[in-house]
Amino acid sequence: MSSLRRTVPVVILLAAGCSGSADTARLAALEARVDKLESQPVPSAVAAEAAHAGFTPGLGEIMGLNQIRHEKLWFAGIHGNWPLASYELDEIQEGLEDAVKYNPTHEGVPEPLTVLIPRYTSSPMQQLRQAVDAKDRAAFEKAFDALTSGCNNCHQAANFGFNVVKRPSTVPFSNQEYAPK
């Protein structure tokens, strides 16, 4: 029993003892309304939506996460951890979709991101998916380099050519194992 359910009757009884029957009837009606409200749970999806209603991730936040996933994808692929590579590839795709969804245009970028991002990443992402599904390291390396090139070409087209992506040279997280288990 909730503390509100225990407290309301006590308050009603105290108030009823100190007031007339009209107040007692109002308090009883109030108790019935409280009971009804307590029996109606707030759906978790509604609560989650209300909590996040005002948040829109910026392009930098989305692409920063994709940069991490790009690194993790590389190390998963070269170590032959194909389930992890597949997961990171899915996460990169989701990040690209979020970039377009939440930032369809960006200040100083001559074309909409809804055009640029798919133009430069769709084909390399398909090549990567095929290589990962085939568990083909040579095809993976070639497709990874094509994605990296696509990212850099997109940066150039978006006037962000100063942001150059490359093959990672060091493991980004020392607390993650990239070799398959």
Residue 180 domain-assigned (yes or no): no
Closest CA to 145 of 78, 80, 93, 59: 78
Q: Do 35 and 67 belong to one domain?
A: no
Domain that holds residue 34: 3-40
Tally the domains of the chain: 2
Question: pLDDT tens digits, the chain, 181 residues: what are they?
Answer: 444 444 444 444 444 454 456 677 777 777 777 677 667 665 566 555 655 567 889 999 999 999 999 999 999 999 999 999 999 999 999 999 999 999 999 999 999 999 999 999 999 999 999 999 999 999 999 999 999 999 999 999 999 999 999 999 999 889 999 999 8
Q: Do 8 and 90 belong to one domain?
A: no
Residue 170 domain-assigned (yes or no): no
Q: Do 30 and 110 belong to one domain?
A: no
